[in-house]
Every structure is written in structure tokens, then in C-alpha cells.
Amino acid sequence: MRVIVIEDDSDAASFVKRVLSEAGHAVDICGDGESGLNQARTGDYDALVVDRMLPGMDGLKLLKSYRDGGGRAPALFLSALGEVDHRVEGLQAGGDDYLVKPYAPSELVARVEALGRRATGDIPTTKLAVGGLEMDLLARSVTRDGQKIDLQPREFRLLEFLMRHAGQVVTRTMLLEKVWDYHFDPQTNVIDVHVSRLRGKIDKDFERPLLHTVRGAGYRLEA
């Protein structure tokens, strides 16, 4: 999912971004209400995470304006205001869910992903497989032919994206946008380095390679 977090507290915003990014989502941050509204309107987001107390335009006004303008992405309010009346105000302003601070990171991820499923009607995928390579998204584990493969969080996200697009050519630009959250090409070799490390873990000790380089185009994962 692609998520925008509208939160003026930079530490809180960074925390939310880290939690959601580690769960495999692409996250943008905006620090005030008016800019957040404009970015939410122009960006192709699957969900909004909105703090109620924002400078310039508070979260309630932001979301009401977003809905009045035709914005349809589901929205989760984050707030220290947890009384029933506060939650009702958030839902009446156009929010789909309301999470009171402080909260458990796992609950934040679960609620955001539930919004995504509710919006699309999708049944969540919990396991991916390509040949003998298997990924359990709930247990955050990877095996090939029954042999456990230990991956770092970024390697896990990279492999998940490749497995979700198995058989397709995945470009470096796609990986920068979906795995690293970069919306431009910074002329870096970070992708090549991580792909090389990933290939060493999923292919090195096995007879058939799964991760292939498509010269001049990108990479393809296939059995």
C-alpha cells in the first residue's frame, strides 16, 4: 500500500513511517494540514493516516475538505484525544477508523492494512511462492526447498515485491519507488548491492537460479 502520514510532530511521523515501512508499505510524510490536504488530493494513495491536532488546518477540517473534494482513500485518525465524543467527531468528519495514542505498532499496521482490504474488498495474501521459494508474510519468514533463509528487513521487502511480480520484469525505478520510497532516480547503486546480497541468499546454494538480471531493463524472479 502507498500511505500518506500527515503529522506535525517529526518524531511521531518518523516512527509511523518506520513501522509501516517495515511492514512493507511505501510511506510519504507531510507536516501540516494544508500541505497534507493538497498532497493527499494529488497523490495516488491507498490510505491516509492523519493526526487530529495539526497547524494551520486541523485533521477534522482536512479530512472533511478531502471528502468534500471527492477524495475516497480510507483514513485513520491518530490522536491523544480518546473520549467517545472525540472519536465520533473523527468518524463524522470522514474518518474510517480512530486510533488513540499511545498505541502498539502492531495495531497501527493491522488497522492500516484493514482499511486497505476494506477499500478494495481483497482477501489478504499471507503466503507467496515461486518455485521452491516460499514467503510467509505473517511470520516474516522465507524458505527455499524447506531450508530457512535469513533476510534483513529491506531484503525481505525487496524479495516480497519481486515475488508479487514473479515472471515480470521489475525496473530499478519501480524498486526505488516501491521498496525505497524514492520518487526519482538518485543515480545510486543501492539496488544493485541489495539485489546481489539477496541473490547470494536465495540462489547461491541451490541448483537453479530464480533471480535473473534483464540487461538494460531490471530484474525478473521466476522458476
Grid cell listed for 131 = 518455485
Tens of pLDDT, residue by residue over 16-51, are 999 998 888 889 999 999 999 999 998 888 899 999
Position 121 scores a pLDDT of 55
The rounded mean pLDDT for the chain is 88
Short-list 155, 163, 169, 166, CA closest to 197? 155
Alpha-carbon gap, residue 223 to 210, rounded angstroms:
5
Q: How many CB atoms lie within 10 A of CB 93?
A: 21
Q: Check whether 185 has a pLDDT greater than 80.
A: no
140: left (phi over 0), alpha (psi -120 to 50) or beta: left
Position 137 scores a pLDDT of 86
Q: Where are the domains of the chain?
A: 2-120, 127-221
CA angle, 17 as apex, 43 and 162 as ends, to 5°?
75
Second CATH level (architecture) for the domain 2-120: 3-Layer(aba) Sandwich (3.40)
Please, what CATH class does the domain formed by 127-221 belong to? mainly alpha
Tens of pLDDT, residue by residue over 127-168, are 899 989 999 988 889 999 999 999 998 899 999 999 989 999
Position 119 scores a pLDDT of 65
